[in-house]
């Protein structure tokens, strides 16, 4: 069921610059400690409430192509010159009965201009910590956002505005990447506006590190070696591959950092749930939501045995979601097909 907040947000056209402006204002309002009070009566709006007082100094009204940002009585009462200062920066407004100031904002740039104006006049919290987004703001980040960010950085892409890392590295396909840049670039892509260094922190116990690790990205201290980067982690793997380079390449390919989580997220987004593409087992229906998804593994499918070469970049379309049983059977078939082509398994 859609919450009042979702109903307000749904007023904005999807992927419109005004939607990003709305998200930007809400992310910063939560970071600054405001409570959100959604109203869905005539006009859909979110009131921003001061944490310790039941008064709403601002409100954000959603329309399809813009948001109206209101400076309301409580803030204008506390800052007597704020109304005139707003007129000087954003232009005059038709007076309403409450004497409020209203500004039309159409994109993130205009939203940031309003926040910068309010900070300058001490009408919005301006300490650095007030720009640190709450964890819920980062919920739209998916495995595919993290993977795209990591791939771009690994290919030599810019780390701006994050720069190099000082203490930690993300290990990604033989490269070391700055964790803040990986997470920050993924967040910018997911949220639709530029996420800056002040918007989140990095380091042990932080949300950004937890999320990177949950999606399969190892993070180590600088100079520290990778823990267990050998993709052949189980006895089953060793016996199955027998050191055959093509089979080892297969395992390495489908276990590339971040791939499995990106594939699962993409599959879930397309089908609404995870299930086995071969036998259609629905593990969540059988074992429950908490543990069922652990049954679904990611298999690299599209490469024919004869094309299993090194240096091939894996796309999500090359991957398939299989239950653990089907994955094992598929691997046996793959090995049998490989041996039938005459390729010799190298003895261990």
Q: Which residues contact 181 (CB under 8 A, 6 or more apart)?
A: 149, 153, 159, 162, 163, 165
Which residue number, 99 or 288, has a Cβ lying nearer to Zn ion?
288
Name the one range near Zn ion by CB under 5 A: 99-107, 169-177, 184-192, 325-333: 325-333
Q: Which residues contact 279 (CB under 8 A, 6 or more apart)?
A: 323, 325, 326
Max CA distance (Å), the chain:
86
Asked if 31 interacts with Zn ion (CB under 5 A), we say no
Distance of CA 136 to the CA centre of its chain: 11
Neighbours of 137 (CB within 10 A): 22
Which residue number, 175 or 238, has a Cβ lying nearer to Zn ion?
238
E-assigned strand segments in 72-194: 101-105, 168-172, 175-177
Asked if 9 interacts with Zn ion (CB under 5 A), we say no
Number of residues that bind Zn ion (CB under 5 A): 8
Asked if 202 interacts with Zn ion (CB under 5 A), we say no
Q: Which of 297, 314, 346 is nearest to 147 (CA)?
A: 314
CB of 330 to Zn ion, least distance (A): 6
* Interactions with Zn ion, residue window 245-304 (CB under 5 A): 254, 276, 278-279, 281, 299
Which residue number, 27 or 281, has a Cβ lying nearer to Zn ion?
281
50 by Cβ neighbours in 10 Å (0-12 / 13-18 / 19+) ranks as middle
Asked if 326 interacts with Zn ion (CB under 5 A), we say yes
Asked if 150 interacts with Zn ion (CB under 5 A), we say no
CB 261 within 8 A of CB 254: no
Asked if 170 interacts with Zn ion (CB under 5 A), we say no
Which residue number, 25 or 298, has a Cβ lying nearer to Zn ion?
298
CB of 146 to Zn ion, least distance (A): 22
Binding residue for Zn ion, selected from 60, 115, 150, 323, defined by CB under 5 A: 323
Structure token digits, residue 234: 């189980």
Which residue number, 23 or 277, has a Cβ lying nearer to Zn ion?
277
Contact residues toward Zn ion (CB under 5 A) are 254, 276, 278-279, 281, 299, 323, 326
């Amino acid at each position: 069921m859609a919450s009042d907040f979702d109903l307000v947000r749904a007023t904005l056209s999807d992927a419109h610059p005004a939607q990003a402006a709305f998200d930007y204002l809400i992310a910063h309002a939560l970071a600054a400690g405001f409570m959100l009070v959604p109203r869905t009566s005539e006009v859909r709006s979110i009131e921003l409430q001061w944490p310790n007082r039941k008064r709403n100094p601002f409100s954000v009204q959603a329309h399809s192509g813009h948001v109206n940002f209101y400076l309301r009585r409580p803030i204008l009462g506390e800052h007597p010159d704020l109304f005139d200062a707003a007129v000087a920066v954003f232009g005059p407004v038709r007076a309403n009965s409450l004497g409020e100031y209203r500004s039309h904002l159409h994109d993130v740039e205009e939203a940031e201009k309003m926040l910068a104006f309010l900070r300058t006049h001490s009408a919005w919290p301006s300490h650095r910590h007030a720009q640190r987004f709450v964890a819920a703001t980062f919920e739209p980040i998916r495995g595919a956002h993290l993977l795209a960010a990591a791939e771009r950085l690994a290919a030599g892409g810019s780390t701006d505005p994050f720069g190099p890392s000082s203490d930690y590295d993300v290990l990604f396909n033989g490269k070391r990447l700055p964790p803040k840049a990986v997470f920050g670039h993924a967040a910018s892509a997911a949220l639709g506006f530029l996420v800056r260094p002040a918007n989140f922190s990095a380091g042990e116990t932080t949300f950004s590190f937890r999320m990177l690790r949950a999606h399969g990205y190892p993070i180590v201290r600088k100079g520290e070696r990778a823990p267990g980067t050998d993709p052949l982690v189980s006895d089953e793997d060793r016996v199955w591959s027998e050191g055959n380079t093509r089979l080892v390449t297969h395992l390495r390919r489908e276990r590339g950092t971040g791939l499995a989580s990106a594939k699962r997220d993409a599959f879930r987004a397309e089908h609404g749930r995870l299930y086995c593409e071969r036998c259609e087992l629905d593990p969540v229906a059988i074992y429950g939501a908490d543990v069922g998804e652990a049954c679904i593994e990611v298999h690299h499918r599209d490469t024919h045995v004869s094309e299993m070469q090194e240096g091939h970049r894996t796309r999500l379309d090359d991957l398939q979601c299989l239950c653990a049983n089907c994955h094992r059977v598929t691997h046996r078939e793959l090995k049998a097909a490989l041996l039938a082509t005459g390729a010799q398994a190298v003895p261990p």
